[in-house]
Structures are given as C-alpha cells and as structure tokens.
Amino acid sequence: MKKIFRLYHSGYPKVWPVYLLALLLAAPLLKGCGDDAPVTQTEKFVISDSLLNTLEIDTVQYRKFENSITLNGKVTANPNDVVQVFPMVSGKIEGINVMLGDYVRRGQTLGIIRSPEMAGYNSNLITAKTNLGVAQKNLLAAKEMYEGGLSSKLDYLSAQASFQQAEAELNRVKEVIRVNGGGTQGNYLVKAPISGFIIEKGITNGMDIRSDNGNDLFTISDLNNIWVIGDVYESNIPNVHLRDSVDITTLSYPDKVFHGIVDKMSNVLDPVNKVMTVRVALPNPGYLLKPGMFASVTVLHPENTEMLCIPSSAVIFDHSQHYVLVYKNRKDVVITPVQIVKTTRNLAYISSGLQEGDKVIASQTLLIYAALNS
C-alpha cells in the first residue's frame, strides 16, 4: 500500500484504484480458502518413522503411592571388610612401597621398618641354628657310641632330647620372625594381611614408631561391598522405616542410580549433629563407589493408597502448568494439562487430566511439544 500511496503523490493518480480493486476482489477468495480448510494443531505435526522408533511410550496405570524423602549421605567402607595394620615392633620407617588408594595383594610388602627388636630376633635365629647343629652332631655321636656298646641308652636318649629342644627353639625363633614380618638384617617387613585397597595411610619415611602407641600404619579394605550412611533429622524420622527401598546418586555419577534397602537404623541420635543415621549396604562392582564420597539418599516408602502414575520424564512444565503428550497415533498427539500430586526421581503421581490406559510419550517430549506449539 505504501508503493501505491507514493505513486498517487508522484503524479499517477489513476494507478492506485486498479491495485486497490484487485485487492478487494482477492480478499473474499482468501477468506474463503481459510474458512474451507481449517488446520488443527494435531494435523500439522506427524511423527516420522525414525522418530517413532526412538520414542518411549508408556501406559498410564495405577500404582501404590510412594512417599519419598531425600537424605544427605556418605559412602564408607564396610567395617567387616576392613583390616588395620599395626606395627609389631618399634623402630624407624625406612621405606614405603604403596600409596593411598593402591590395590595390594595378601602378603605384599607395604613398608620396611628398621628395628632393634628385629636385630635381636635375627641374632636369636643364628644362635638357634648353631645350637641345632651342635645338638645334631652330639646325637649322631651318641647313637654310634650306643650302638657300639660304648655308652648307655640313657646317654643316647639325653642327646636325642637335646636335639629336639634345639629344633623346637629354632622353629620358635623362625615363627617369631615370620609373625614380625620375616625380615632379615634387623628389618621388619610390613605385609598386607588381605587383598584390597589402601584406604588409610598413617606413616611417612623416616618416622619413628612404637608398637605400644595404638596407631595403625595402614588400613585396607577390599571395597567389594560398601555402606552408605544417611542422616535423618528428627522431623523426618517417622518417614523412614527398616527395609524401605532406597535410590542413591553421587556427584561422580549423576545419571547412575544405585538401588538398595535400609538394613539398619540407629536407635540414638548423634549428640553433635542431632541426626539419626541409617545404613544401606550395597555391592560395589567396578569399585565405582569410594569411601568419602557424598551421596544423595532417596528413601521410598509405599502406602496403601493407589494413584495414577506416569514416568516423571513424561511431564513438561510450561507457563506455570504441567503438561503431558497423550499419544493416540502418529498423527494424533495431544498436549494435555495434568495435576501433579507428587514427583519422585522416576515417577509422577497424577490427580487429574489422564485416565488409566492412556498412552503418554516419555522421551524427547520437549522436541515434540515445541513442534506442536509452532
């Protein structure tokens, strides 16, 4: 219209009525086309075969309503699978062969302690070997003399007893050295009593240690089974029960859910934090969960009430309203508002908007929702 207006003011007054007449004649035709072929929202969008093959379509069904509560938790080693390694002798640390987090095998040398006590044991070993050699020679001589009639049987039996005593003393000294690490030249070898991971290390090179101070050198755990300890505040204690199902997530694996049950509840509150602790024992394949990790512990407790339920991934929140995509066929997908009673990590409980047996799209919902609204 601007172009016609300029022509009118540029000295061509007879041109604009022709254009205006053409527009007036075309307007009813355009209006008629719009009235005769209305396009609905669902007719604009058709799910392609490739998209349909990747969609998750779930059926609305009744399920028992689950109350859930989320607790702060921490991963710890299972104390039943933890061994602390203490020094059997006093001395100075001369070598450390492992670091925190290393995997060790049973019998592997973890460190070396230079110890006066071990030097004494090694001296006793030399003495015991010498005494055994002397006793063995005396026994052979006594036997020959007894068989030759040059000595009595009593002398022979006495020599035999001396040999047995010397042999027993040597075995005792060897066992003492074995129990104390089996080192030689005054060295105490700190060895792993079990196979597992070093989860604590309490020594450094050059450190003086005493066998009577009660401090462990290493702590080892196999980590095949771990505990997750959750903190329950007083107001939430009625909502947590023994044998409740538990979903656990960590910062390290936000998309992975570890499933377990509450297998122990404390009967006293922590005097400092004023919380009750609950325990979840979990298998730990691949050693994904590590002691010290923080965890989010969601405790699920089913009730007797049943409600309509859909996957939480099917719910879309837009303009202060929850919606789902009800699937009838690939050409008929309807955006339906719903009322959500409660949402857990995996499920959403519906009070209105859906009926049992309805099918809802539970994946790529935002993509389809945007296409339907475009």
Summarised one tens digit per residue, pLDDT across range 259-281 is 999 999 999 999 999 999 999 99
Question: Which residue in 109, 87, 89 sits closest to 98, CA to CA?
Answer: 109
Residues 6+ positions from 148 with CB-CB distance below 8 Å: none
Which helix (DSSP H) or strand (DSSP E) does residue 139 occupy? helix 116-147
| Cβ 364 vs Cβ 54: under 8 Å | yes
Classify each residue of 297-321 as buried b or exposed e, where b means 16 or more C-beta atoms within 10 Å of its C-beta: bbbbbeeeeebbbbbebbbbeeeee
Q: What is the Cα–Cα distance from 268 to 249, expressed in whole angstroms? A: 26
> Is residue 231 pLDDT above 90, yes or no?
yes
Q: Strand pairing of 109-114 and 187-191?
A: antiparallel
Q: What is the Cα–Cα distance from 74 to 5, expressed in whole angstroms? A: 77
Residue corresponding to tokens 């939430």:
236
> Is residue 368 pLDDT above 60, yes or no?
yes
Reported as a pLDDT band with limits 50, 70 and 90, residue 247 is very high
Query: Can you give the pLDDT at residue 116?
Result: 79
Query: Can you give the pLDDT at residue 183?
Result: 65
- How confident is the model over 42-101, as pLDDT tens digits? 456 788 888 889 999 999 999 888 788 899 999 999 999 999 999 888 889 999 999 999
| Cβ 353 vs Cβ 317: under 8 Å | no
> Is residue 350 pLDDT above 80, yes or no?
yes
Look up residue 176 and give its two tokens. Answer: 């003492």
Look up residue 246 and give its two tokens. Answer: 């538990």
- How confident is the model over 179-206, as pLDDT tens digits? 776 666 778 889 999 999 999 999 999 9
Query: Residue 91: what are its φ and ψ, rounded to 5°?
Result: 165, -155
Look up residue 373 and give its two tokens. Answer: 């609204």
Residues 6+ positions from 11 with CB-CB distance below 8 Å: none
14 DSSP β-pair partners: none
Percent of residues, the chain, with pLDDT higher than 90:
56
Query: Can you give the pLDDT at residue 276?
Result: 96
Reported as a pLDDT band with limits 50, 70 and 90, residue 11 is very low
Q: What's the distance, CA 373 to chain centroid?
A: 41
> Is residue 24 pLDDT above 50, yes or no?
no
HSE-up of residue 237 (Cα within 13 Å, Cβ side): 12
As a whole number of Å, the end-to-end CA separation of the chain is 30
Q: What is the mean pLDDT of residues 144-172?
A: 87
Q: How many CB atoms lie within 10 A of CB 107?
A: 11
Mean pLDDT of all residues belonging to the chain: 84
Q: Range with the lowest mean pLDDT among 145-149, 232-236, 277-281?
A: 145-149
